Structure formats: C-alpha cells, structure tokens
Structure 1
C-alpha cells in the first residue's frame, strides 16, 4: 500500500515530522503487534498527540532542553517511539542503555529496579496498551508514565529551540546529531519492521519511513520470531495490513 505524503519536500527535523503527522488525519502511521496478540494502531494525528503530551511532561517536570540527557531503557515498542520522538522534540539527547554516558538527567524505563541508584529523575513506563498505572512498586519520586502522560495538554506548549549541532542519539556505536537525525525519506510504502533489530536502528528506520509519508507495521521481537517460523501467519499479516 503506497501512502503518498500530504506535503512534499524533505523533513529536516523531528519538529517538522511531528507537524506533518499531526496534520495527517486518520491514516494509520504506526501499527504495533506485541506479544499475546496485542495490536495497537495509531494514526499520524494520534501518534503526534501522544508525542505532544509527552513533550509537555518532559518540559514541565524535568526542564528538558538541549543539554538534557534522557536515557530510554525500553525495548522496541510503540511507546519507545513516542518517548524518543518527544525527547528529540525538546532538543534533548536520547541515550540508549549501552551508551557510555555519565549521570543522565532522566531515565525512561519499564524496569525501574535497574536505575534506582542512577541519581536521575525516573519515569516508569508500562508497556501494555491498556495499562492505566504501573503494576508494581514505584521507586520513591518516580513518575508513573501511564497515569501522568494523559494529564498533559494535547498541544505542545512552550518548548526550547533545538540545537542542531548537539547529539540527538547516543549508543555504544557512536552519536547522531539533531541535524542528521531524520534519514533520507522513504517512498511512502507501508513497511513491516522486524522488532528484533537494534533499538537505535529501528527508531531511525521509523523516522525515515514516516518522513517519506509511509506507514509502519512494527512487531515485538517475540512476534517477529513467531512470524519467521510460520510463513502462513506472516503472509496473512502482510495481506491483512496491506504491507508492500
């Protein structure tokens, strides 16, 4: 299924990408297949709305801005995409757990017990789509993302200017700046993305697909493995989701 972009031209940054997604209406831009048969579909407008609420949380709670380091300790997941988009929109640097960064300012994680001694502000994310609160004991001072994000506005309020020369994504393999974060645009296709890939590679692939007006069918690592082992199931999914 080819999805022509609504407006042409390159997408220079995440702010421009979110603006296009917000204006995109009801077309599916991210369809998530998780474990246990979970399926979540987000239009461009809904994806941008989630990111906007999360931007507002990051700015209002943590003063996120250029110079802020946000560790995103989440697996490949639609929520990981939302949190990284939001952090980039504030101009912050997203670091993955394998990156050698000292003293992160904020940690976004689904496994808070790994970060209780990090000395950072902690945001605890519940991965199930229907979760309304974290199903566990929150560390002292931690924010429960499932309940907190929904209290913030649907439209981004004040947000600092992004410094294009600062790092946007830091991993063990190196860093990518905000200036070069959005890859060359794709061709408007609906693409099946394997969730077993490295988180950084998957996130940047999503940016390129969306920048080209395309749509993503993203699987968890477990679902990707199951699809690889079952050709008939994989073909049914490709047909049902109209994957190119």
Structure 2
C-alpha cells in the first residue's frame, strides 16, 4: 500500500490553526543548559506568536518588505520570533549579513549601540522567566521581555503577506512566502521529535517547522545539553529522556 505524504499548511495562520486544534497538547518543550524545562502547548505557542506579531506591527511598522534580522541561536524563542515575522508578512533574515535589515532582533546587543540612525533594535532575553533584560538595553532599543507582555493575546490588524516577497533570507537560497508550504512540507505526521541545537539556525528552523506542519511536537535541546547527550557515556540518560518525553525520532543535529 502506498503511503501519502501529509499536506502542508499554506501559511503561518493555517499552521497555528493546526496546532491549536488540540490546544493543550505540548508542541515545544525546551531543555536548557542549566536544566530548565519549558513547555509550550499549542494554545500558549499561538499566544506568544500573537503578542510578538502585535509588537512587530504596532511598535515597529513591520510588514511586507520589512527585513527582520534574527540574531538568535537555535532556541524556542527563535521559533516565536520567526513565526511572528512571517505572520506580519515580513522577511526573517537568518545566518547572513548580506542583507541590510530594517529591524535587528538580538540576544547579544552591543551595549554601546544606540538606535535612531540604523535599524530598530529589539533585545531578546533567552531566560525562560525573565520579565526584563538583566542588563540595561542600548538607548532607543526595545526590551522584548518587558514589551511583549504588554501586547494583546489576540492578533490585531496585520498586513497580508505578499506571495512573492521573501519569507526567509539566508546565506543560501531565499524562501518566498508562497514557497513556505513546500519548504516545511512534512514527511510524517504527529511525530514527537528530539532535536538538538545547531549553528545552522535556518536548517534547524526547517526541522522545527516540518515537524509542526505534520501536526507533531518537539523536544528542543540547548547546545550544551545536545552535546552532552551525544557523548558515548550518556546513553542511559538519553534513553530516559526519550522514554519520559515519548520521543518517536531523535535528531541531535539538523538533518
């Protein structure tokens, strides 16, 4: 019997409707370097994406043609900012400095930087429970940890994405909004994937999106946790994690 490839959501709105059809089901689970565990259900993931999209549109006028540089590692917050950028119809620029951005979203700001003449600057704190950045943000920059929570849980007005505009800008071939469905087309449905962090953030994002587009869920590992579990002596620890999180596929790096 020939198996059929699951159909892919056409855009971020369709993807989020898929993930919230079962709103309480875990979709992203994060294991950090310091042992922190963060779990986002489909409903919570959509809530975060809505808030972040509202910030981008209302505060920074992000829309089709806006280039948002995501200077972020492979982290659960990177998934939120990517989906929010696409939902605003803008271009997420990852892993390249060949494109001059309009907005820079970074977890490692230059303390001496000041906004006003260059791109708008958003500082993202990666700690799970942070309510504000631990250090003062550069003058004129937005402290995402404090700002995102002030925006509505429901999506406000957003400009419609333009099919031919770039959704993902990388050092490789860019992906247009019209090509997202093919880019994240899943091979399987309802997988529970253990995915290690990777310096290839664009490739890592594709692995994340392909799993979500197949109505699946992920357990994401920070770089140190992924490296530790990949060591020969960590087999028992990895097996316990796989069993406890009901993992169906393990990828300790991008495919």
Q: Residues 53 and 174 of structure 1: is their aligned pair in 2 closer, same or farther, counting only changes over 3 Å?
A: same
Alignment of 1:241 onto 2:245: yes
Alignment of 1:231 onto 2:235: yes
Q: Is the 8 A contact 1:34 1:219 kept in 2?
A: yes
Alignment of 1:18-167 (within 5 A): 18-102=16-100, 104-113=101-110, 116=113, 119-167=118-166
Task: Kindly state the Cα deviation for residue 173 of structure 1 after the two structures are TM-superposed.
Answer: 1.5
Task: Kindly state the Cα deviation for residue 96 of structure 1 after the two structures are TM-superposed.
Answer: 1.6
Task: Kindly state the Cα deviation for residue 69 of structure 1 after the two structures are TM-superposed.
Answer: 0.4
Give the aligned partner of residue 200 of structure 2: 198
Q: Residues 156 and 242 of structure 1: is their aligned pair in 2 closer, same or farther, counting only changes over 3 Å?
A: same
Q: Provide the rounded CA distance (Å) in 1 between the counterparts of 2:228 and 2:191.
A: 24
What secondary structure, in the 3-state scheme, does the structure 2 residue paired with 1:193 have?
strand
What secondary structure, in the 3-state scheme, does the structure 2 residue paired with 1:58 have?
helix
Q: Is the 8 A contact 2:114 2:139 kept in 1?
A: no
Q: Provide the rounded CA distance (Å) in 2 between the counterparts of 1:117 and 1:101.
A: 20
After the TM superposition, which segments of 4 or more aligned residues of structure 1 sit over 4 Å from their partners? none
Q: Provide the rounded CA distance (Å) in 2 between the counterparts of 1:44 and 1:225.
A: 28
Q: CA-to-partner distance for each residue in 1:141-166, whole Å, 9 max, x for gaps?
A: 11100011011000101000111111
Q: Provide the rounded CA distance (Å) in 2 between the counterparts of 1:53 and 1:24.
A: 20
What secondary structure, in the 3-state scheme, does the structure 2 residue paired with 1:94 have?
strand
Give the aligned partner of residue 252 of structure 2: none
Q: Provide the rounded CA distance (Å) in 2 between the counterparts of 1:71 and 1:58.
A: 13
Q: Is the 8 A contact 1:181 1:204 kept in 2?
A: no
Task: Kindly state the Cα deviation for residue 206 of structure 1 after the two structures are TM-superposed.
Answer: 1.2
Q: Is the 8 A contact 1:33 1:223 kept in 2?
A: yes
Alignment RMSD, CA only? 1.6
Task: Kindly state the Cα deviation for residue 116 of structure 1 after the two structures are TM-superposed.
Answer: 2.6
- Structure 1 unpaired stretches of 5+: 1-7
- Structure 2 unpaired stretches of 5+: 1-5, 249-255
Q: Provide the rounded CA distance (Å) in 1 between the counterparts of 2:80 and 2:114.
A: 25
